[in-house]
Amino acid sequence: MDWIKLPRQLIVLTLALSAALISNMCHSTQLQAQPAKDDDRNKIQTVNQDHFVPTSTLNTRSGFYLSHNSKSVVPTLRFRFVPPLPPPDQGSPTGRRKGGASRCPECKDSNLSLTALVPGINSKSSLAFTVASHPTFWFYVPYALTPSSSFEFVLQDEQDNYIYKTTFTSPGTPAGIVSIPLPTKETSLEIGKQYHWTFVIHSNRQPSSYVAVDGFVQRVAPTLKLTKQLKNMTPRERTVLYAANGIWHDALTTLASLLSAYPRDTMLTAEWVGLLQSVGLDNIATQPFVQCCIGKQASND
């Protein structure tokens, strides 16, 4: 094109249009390079079970998992357990979430202690909440179980009446995390009441020796807003919401069920570790789940 022969106005217009086109292309490139908005980070994506992302690639600042091809990201959920405030008219009761090894010869063979998977500070357990009528209780047993092992789980109401009392025997399982659900045929937990649970392991080497942990659970009624939110959520989303609202037992059990169903899902594994770390159970977070035990209901007298 012979620019000399063109009118000055046409030259100016042509240059302006070219500058506008270049500016628009640069702005589009910047938009594509921007990180996802916070709303997008909270969306849940199902993990492809044929492609597992190692936990070492977790970017804890952004909450993203980087895939192996470094071109895509999979958002992970931020787990932060928010403990509820104690009731205004009374202090929160405490129990013992770690059992000492001094009265349990078998426990001395392990670097870890019998531990209840509940909120607390150091060895003390805090009052934990649930919205379930029949919650599940979780414990870490630090040594291998044998058929001669004797376990006992007791749940009592505020008047010390037995709600559930059962003994267990083990077919032989390694050390790990065990669950004890309150059977649905048993009495439901009443909303607003506190219940005291105790988990005891009797020694095989010394029948008079034992180790125990105990704590308290209270069933609460979910708010109308929480009920509506939970209705259309996936299990993973519900876990985050439970934890954010201080509903410990339901957050733990929901996430444990997911992890048991998808044990190779490293995203779920990272979320499980994060949930336990948020209540100071770092040393238990990487322990395996084990199937235990055979329960036999004891007399409630």
pLDDT in tens, 209-225: 788 999 999 999 999 99
Reported confidence tier of residue 37, pLDDT bands at 50, 70, 90: very low
The better pLDDT of the pair 59, 109 is held by 109
What percentage of the chain reaches a pLDDT higher than 90?
46
What is the reported pLDDT for 181?
A: 94
The better pLDDT of the pair 89, 265 is held by 265
Query: CB 110: neighbour CB atoms within 10 A?
Result: 15
Residue with tokens 């870490």: 140
Report pTM: 0.70
> What CATH number does domain 94-297 carry, 3.30.360.10, 3.30.70.890, 2.60.40.2550, 2.40.50.140?
2.60.40.2550
- pLDDT of 133 above 50: yes
The better pLDDT of the pair 299, 284 is held by 284
The answer to which of 123-137, 138-152, 264-278 has the lowest mean pLDDT is 138-152
Domain positions in the chain are: 94-297
- pLDDT of 283 above 70: yes
The answer to which of 31-35, 250-254, 272-276 has the lowest mean pLDDT is 31-35
